[in-house]
Amino acid sequence: MTICVTTIDRSAGTLANSLAELGVATVHEAQGRKGLLDAGLRPIYRPASIAGTAVTCEVAPGDNWMIHVAVEQCQQGDVLVVTPTSLCHDGYFGDLLATSLQSRGVRGLIINAGVRDIATLTEMKFPVWSAAVCAQGTVKETIANVNTTIVCAGQTIVPGDLVVADDDGVVVVRKEEAIAVLDKARQRVANEEDKRVRFEAGELGLDIYNMRERLAEKGLRWIESED
Amino acid sequence: MTICVTTIDRSAGTLANSLAELGVATVHEAQGRKGLLDAGLRPIYRPASIAGTAVTCEVAPGDNWMIHVAVEQCQQGDVLVVTPTSLCHDGYFGDLLATSLQSRGVRGLIINAGVRDIATLTEMKFPVWSAAVCAQGTVKETIANVNTTIVCAGQTIVPGDLVVADDDGVVVVRKEEAIAVLDKARQRVANEEDKRVRFEAGELGLDIYNMRERLAEKGLRWIESED
Amino acid sequence: MTICVTTIDRSAGTLANSLAELGVATVHEAQGRKGLLDAGLRPIYRPASIAGTAVTCEVAPGDNWMIHVAVEQCQQGDVLVVTPTSLCHDGYFGDLLATSLQSRGVRGLIINAGVRDIATLTEMKFPVWSAAVCAQGTVKETIANVNTTIVCAGQTIVPGDLVVADDDGVVVVRKEEAIAVLDKARQRVANEEDKRVRFEAGELGLDIYNMRERLAEKGLRWIESED
Amino acid sequence: MTICVTTIDRSAGTLANSLAELGVATVHEAQGRKGLLDAGLRPIYRPASIAGTAVTCEVAPGDNWMIHVAVEQCQQGDVLVVTPTSLCHDGYFGDLLATSLQSRGVRGLIINAGVRDIATLTEMKFPVWSAAVCAQGTVKETIANVNTTIVCAGQTIVPGDLVVADDDGVVVVRKEEAIAVLDKARQRVANEEDKRVRFEAGELGLDIYNMRERLAEKGLRWIESED
Amino acid sequence: MTICVTTIDRSAGTLANSLAELGVATVHEAQGRKGLLDAGLRPIYRPASIAGTAVTCEVAPGDNWMIHVAVEQCQQGDVLVVTPTSLCHDGYFGDLLATSLQSRGVRGLIINAGVRDIATLTEMKFPVWSAAVCAQGTVKETIANVNTTIVCAGQTIVPGDLVVADDDGVVVVRKEEAIAVLDKARQRVANEEDKRVRFEAGELGLDIYNMRERLAEKGLRWIESED
Amino acid sequence: MTICVTTIDRSAGTLANSLAELGVATVHEAQGRKGLLDAGLRPIYRPASIAGTAVTCEVAPGDNWMIHVAVEQCQQGDVLVVTPTSLCHDGYFGDLLATSLQSRGVRGLIINAGVRDIATLTEMKFPVWSAAVCAQGTVKETIANVNTTIVCAGQTIVPGDLVVADDDGVVVVRKEEAIAVLDKARQRVANEEDKRVRFEAGELGLDIYNMRERLAEKGLRWIESED
């Protein structure tokens, strides 16, 4: 059965802005290096940085019909996440759909396929992370699921999970883990600020992290010349 | 026999500026979703938007000799379209050739290969859509055809056809179809403007396009939760 | 044995600024079209243009430990060149390591792998040429060599060699050939300036380079129409 | 926390042989075209055809340590499914590990990374579907999860799910859906046999599936010549 | 308008067997190194070698409906050539369609997309050159053209042209050029046989082709050692 | 200056047969996991296994002239290693050149580019490892170096070095390290044989290599179920 689920748990949505500020690399580290979408998803303009609750959408190859169904499920603070059911780089999404999403307060689009009208999307400041840019349009013939659990660019996305995206890529945070991840990410940033000051002052990572002894134990030898 | 054809039919050239304004995605839709070059061709800077009459040029792998032959065939309002006879990402084209083309009023270059000097090309505002950026130069040893019908990045290009290129990619319009395509593209834009206003007002594509009944007929079910 | 070599010959370093001004394409031509790294290495922001003496660093897949070892070997005017021992697109390098390198006067990073924190790196104006952008972090478990001769992106890099990088890519110049290359590159630029003036004036490459006769000898025929 | 789960539900294992006989394409169709792993996974020899219960294993890039942990969890009738935590084509698996798995009655390996010793694996008749063949070995430094739910080559794999693999690729069948899928797949095959006889007799799909009228309704026109 | 053209010129079909025997590389050389389809099209089994008259077929992404329409246009001695209107690796074609084509005397399939059931296709000895193997099936919703001029894998294919395919790839020969190409190809083979005898006897290409003087003129120097 | 070096040090050639028997993966491990060529080089038929002394050859893109020069430098027991000066997948090598090499006792070809006539090469049992199969031929216009140190598929190859190639890929062994590598490789094989017996008997790698304690120290926990 093909379904569109109309009620999803957005309880973690209040944490989105804080995660967006921390950034993808920090959030990814803080949750134990999991949840990163394939690095082939790139922002259509830079810099760009968002976070929000995932509304998920499957699409058939060359067919963007279900994006229209998904738009109705989107609310203020959401991020639309779209995955094709097989590899396709067509331009599934353009400025009209972006206008529709922007009017609903949606923060951006993550799509493991192509988009078009990127000059207009850039002017509108509607951020998109996509696998391709392609002017090739799509048809509206085949249905698929909206707001079910999907795999997008190598990661499982459950509707209502938090999606964080910036110039470094896209990461998903499980809604039930979001508080703990946020906490760890903040610790990490605080710790990094301290490190940054020391690095700026010229201190070495070898000393800051006490690496010299362990390197020597592993067998590294410092020598003056190779000959 | 290897030839350079010196007379081509540029009669559709007067429509180029109008097509450029409409953009690649709109023109591609208006002509029934045909004529789009492979999405691997990307602009070296953005935004960029041009249209013009195609002068075509084949080149041997690692050999840009024929581009010099093609330059002489270029006139005000042309776009030079270059295709290698086998896969090659070398930098066939740089700032000197761009200077030569710009002095003749050529609007840009489409090349299914590599280019170089892109910092200078960007400063010169000479737009290029290429398959790669590569500093590797080329030799001048092998001849090939100029202004014959070629296949470039998956599409047939007849000399004198209109080539439209922008941030979304590159599309070719047959010269004999250009008036009809322009007409349909304008209708499409007018129609889209109306839609955009409705989308901005928060109306849904589901309603604007009357999709709900057909979706249900295809078997889509809206449910509150997956469980 | 795994080693970190602590003394390298930076005698060619005084030529770096001159080579940077000439640019990658010119330098590559001037040294007989050799030394170009794979075109898959792209700058994280544009325009960017550097040259400096190479400090080399191998890293295991998913492991950036040795970059910390390499930082200590870096001096004012160096460029750090990192190659993984097998294909890996993880984000080996971010803003903290960049801060450390910048504090030592290092001019940039060349890495045949991924980097992250690119929004911050862009703000810091620390230029990087990488094979990917990826938020996936790395571990610190495996040692490898620093300042030995490596192959990075298809080219041999000897520590102390000059590395030149700009929007067109990255080229390596052997330290012992640097003076000769600089000399030839300057001749080439002088020669190009003269050509540029002639191209701007509308003169054709066919005439500037006397190509017509040789083209005809090879068999090229100019004809009015293909039919 | 990093874990190795020691008890998994293999209740669907009795259906494996039947699914293997039906083949990947048929099973994939029968379950509504879902569950197919990325087509980049290819068998190291052909023909090959297996099905079994999934034991899952994550590995760090360039590190095959956890495969040894996973082997202990494998039983007669299992298929080992391995996914790297980031893109890596190293040779994680060779003839010794295959000997170990074969001694336990494991039916094959699915790995979204590289393998080696493929001449020996082919002689041993131990089938492997991998993303690459690569002699580059791996280290044993980093732990990761065994028998947790993973994403491998774009699909979610729950331990104990059925994995079916043949020359066409790899598909996963949820253990709780396996009976229904098997039933539909058998109907499909029965139906196909009937069709095959008609096709062999020269009957057309256009007639077997009554397509002519619907094609005409969509606008297809049969004409003698394009001119 | 979307059309299926029912009458094509197969007058060159009598030359197909002779071209198949000569092979793709020889035919490609004989016609001046033109007409080669992208090297990404590979045979599903080897060795395989065919030639025949092209019946052409466009398909929408993820939609194989038009292949059924094309089958009806196929006759004894034809080769079916299928191109998707945008990039798609789905399995458009399997053993039932192969049975249908085989019953009509069709010699093989060329498709710039995916196929499935390749174990059965191999047993049936129905040769296929495809861009991918993929078990992902397709729908039947969208119409496209049959027996119009198409671009497939970078080459223009006119219905009735000769298509030659073997382990080296696929080449198209214009029907009106086929006699001349066959003639040149035979000369080439005769010439090669003579060369082969001389190579077998240990004679060098340098001498057979009189290359030494020209190499020296270009500047090649033979030296005993590099130092 | 472009040169062909006529005298190379083949003193390690006597070790080639022994290395070939040990295989690429074992040799690669034995020399500390270095020297492996890019995994994109694949054999045109399987199984295939050779080793020999390297004769090196650069070629311009689309130009195989220098292979003829290199043939003359080849002797009994050599392996010809060819690298293009920029990316090119053309078919540089076919059955005539293979006949010439075979008549001189050359054991095979390694080429980071394309080859053709692979059906004939397979019949002749002339093994080739290439980056592509492509019927596109080449010209003979541009000179390049023979028997100089090159980078091929990511590795430095010095003329006279040993090249070992089999179904797993291609590895280079420095001539001066060959005896030590052979010695270590033999130890490794002996050691592996012992392991194989234990694996066949059902013993686990966890126990054979004493991994349990170290895994627990790193933090791995064995648990019955994830919930």
Q: Decide: F and A in contact? Rule: 3+ Cβ pairs under 8 Å.
A: no
As a whole number, mean pLDDT of residues C149-158 equals 97
Query: Which residues in chain D have their CB less than 8 angstroms from residue E137's CB?
Result: 25, 28-29, 33
Question: Rounded to an integer, what distance in angstroms lies between the CA atom of residue D202 and that of residue E103?
Answer: 6
Nearest-Cα distance to chain B for F65, in Å, is 13
Interface partners of A (3+ CB pairs, < 8 Å)?
B, C, D, E
For chain D, which ranges sit under pLDDT 50?
A: none
CB contact under 8 A, C139 and D134: no
- The C-alpha angle D112, D113, D118, rounded to 5 degrees, equals 115
DSSP 3-state of A85:
coil
As a whole number, mean pLDDT of residues E40-60 equals 98
Contact status of D222 with chain E (Cβ, < 8 Å): yes
A86 with E134: Cβ contact below 8 A: yes
What confidence score (pLDDT) does residue F85 get?
Answer: 95
Is the overall model pTM greater than 0.90, yes or no?
yes
- One DSSP character per residue, chain C reads -EEEE-----GGGGGHHHHHHH-HHHHHHHTTS--BPPTT-EESSSS--EEEEEEEEEE-TTB-HHHHHHHHH--TTEEEEEEESS---SB---HHHHHHHHHTT--EEEEEEEE--HHHHHHHT--EEEEEE-----B------BSS-EEETTEEE-TT-EEEEETTEEEEE-GGGHHHHHHHHHHHHHHHHHHHHHHHTT--HHHHTT-HHHHHHHTEEEES---
* Domain presence at residue E194: no
Choose, out of D2, D88, D92, D133, the residue to mutate when testing the contact with C (most C CBs < 10 Å): D88
Q: Does A226 touch chain C (CB under 8 A)?
A: yes
Partner-chain contact F204 D119, CB within 8 Å: no
Of B42, B204, B222, the CB nearest to A100: B204
Quick check: A210 contacting C, CB < 8 Å? no
- In the sheet with F128-133, reading across from the earlier edge strand, the strands are F42-43, F128-133, F108-115, F78-84, F50-59, F162-166, F169-173
Looking at the complex, does the CB of residue B139 fall below 8 Å from at least one CB of chain E?
no
Is E34's CB within 8 Å of B85's CB?
yes
Whether the CB of B148 is below 8 Å from some CB of chain C: the reply is: yes
A154 in contact with chain D, both atoms CB, cutoff 8 A: yes
Copy the structure tokens of residue F184.
Answer: 């270590």
Q: Is residue E74 part of a domain?
A: yes
C-alpha distances in angstroms, A12 versus A24, A49, A185, B163? 17, 18, 16, 49
Q: Is residue A202 part of a domain?
A: no
Could you tell me the two tokens for F74?
């080849």
Beta strands D155-157; D162-166: pairing state: unpaired
Cα torsion C60, C63, C65, C66: sign = positive
The DSSP H or E segment spanning A72 is helix A65-73
Q: Is residue E75 less than 8 Å (CB to CB) from chain A?
A: no
Contact yes or no for E137 and D199 at CB 8 A: no
- Length of chain D in terms of residues written: 227
The pLDDT, as a whole number, for residue B18 is 97
Residue ranges of E strands in chain F: 3-5, 42-43, 50-59, 78-84, 108-115, 128-133, 150-152, 155-157, 162-166, 169-173, 221-223
* Count of pairs with CB atoms under 8 A, one residue in A, one in B: 119
Please report whether residue A226 resides in a domain: no
The whole-angstrom separation of Cα E1 and Cα C77 is 65
Q: Do E206 and F68 touch (CB under 8 A)?
A: yes
Q: Which chain D residue is nearest to residue E3, measuring alpha carbons?
A: D221
Does D211 sit within 8 Å of E140, measured CB to CB? Answer: yes
E226 touches chain F (CB under 8 A): yes
The closest alpha carbon to A193, from C99, C71, C103, belongs to C99
Does A133 contact chain E (CB < 8 Å)?
Answer: no
CB atoms within 10 A of CB A223: 13
User: How far is Cα C32 from Cα C29, in angstroms, rounded to an integer?
Assistant: 5
Subunits close to B (at least 3 CB pairs below 8 A): A, C, E, F
What is the mean predicted confidence (pLDDT) over F132-150?
Answer: 96
> Which residue from E6, E119, E143 is facing D215, i.e. has the nearest CB?
E143
Chains within contact range of chain E (3+ C-beta pairs < 8 Å): A, B, D, F
In tens digits, chain B (227 residues) has pLDDT values of 899 999 999 999 999 999 999 999 999 999 999 999 999 999 999 999 999 999 999 999 999 999 999 999 999 999 999 999 999 999 999 999 999 999 999 999 999 999 999 999 999 999 999 999 999 999 999 999 999 999 999 999 999 999 999 999 999 999 999 999 999 999 999 999 999 999 999 999 999 999 999 999 999 999 998 76
CB-side exposure of E206: number of CA atoms within 13 Å? 15
Neighbours of A134 (CB within 10 A): 28
D47: Cβ–Cβ under 8 A, 6 or more apart, which residues?
Answer: D166, D167, E119, E122
Count CB-CB contacts under 10 A for residue F196.
15
Could you tell me which chains touch chain D, where touching means 3 or more CB pairs under 8 A? A, C, E, F
- Looking up residue B19, the CATH number of its domain turns out to be 3.50.30.40
Selected residue of A2, A87, A143 to mutate for chain E interface (largest E Cβ count, 10 A): A87
CA–CA distance, B106 with B116 (Å, rounded to integer): 18
Residue spans of chain A under pLDDT 50: none
Instruction: Give the rounded distance of the alpha carbon of B140 from its chain centre.
Output: 27
Owning domain of residue E30? 11-176
Q: Which residue of C has its CA nearest to A24?
A: C135
CB contact under 8 A, F85 and C33: yes
How many domains does chain B divide into? 1
> DSSP 3-state assignment of A34?
coil
Which of A2, A58, A151 would best serve as a mutation to test chain D binding (most D beta carbons within 10 A)?
Answer: A151
Question: 3-state DSSP call for residue A222?
Answer: strand
Reported as type and span, the H/E element at residue E84 is strand E78-84
pLDDT at C226: 78
Q: How far is E6 from chain D (nearest CA, A)?
A: 5
Across chain F, mean pLDDT equals 97
B139 touches chain C (CB under 8 A): no
b/e for D36-71, b at 16 or more Cβ within 10 A?
bbbbbbbbbbbebbbbbbbbbbbbbbbbbbbbbbbb
Is A90 in contact with E86 (Cβ distance < 8 A)? yes
Q: Does F56 map to a domain?
A: yes
Q: What is the pLDDT of residue D227?
A: 67
List the single residue in B with minimal CA-CA distance to A96.
B196
Contacts of A4 in chain B (CB under 8 A): 220-223
Chains D and B touch (3+ CB pairs under 8 A): no
Question: How far is C174 from chain F, CA to nearest CA, in Å?
Answer: 14
Using the Cβ of D3 and the Cβ atoms of chain A, whether some distance falls under 8 Å is answered with: no
Q: What's the DSSP call for residue D37? A: P
Tell me the per-residue pLDDT of C58-99, one tens digit each, with 9 for 90 and over.
Answer: 999 999 999 999 999 999 999 999 999 999 999 999 999 999
- Contact call for F71 and E28, based on CB within 8 A: no
Q: Is F1 on the interface with C (CB under 8 A)?
A: no
Model confidence at C1: pLDDT above 90: no
Q: Is B131 part of a structural domain of the chain?
A: yes
Q: CA-to-CA distance for F54 and F163, rounded, in angstroms?
A: 6
| Residue E75 within a domain | yes
Q: Is residue C5 part of a domain?
A: no
Question: Is the pLDDT at F39 greater than 90, yes or no?
Answer: yes
Out of C4, C97, C119, name the one closest to residue A222 (CB): C4
Interface-testing mutation among D7, D76, D99, with chain F (most F C-beta atoms within 10 A)? D99
Rounded to the nearest angstrom, the gap between the alpha carbon of residue D172 and the centroid of all alpha carbons in its chain is 6
CB B87 to CB E155 under 8 A?
no
Q: Which of the residues C42, C55, C96 would you substitute to probe the A interface, choosing the one with the greatest number of A C-beta atoms within 10 Å?
A: C96
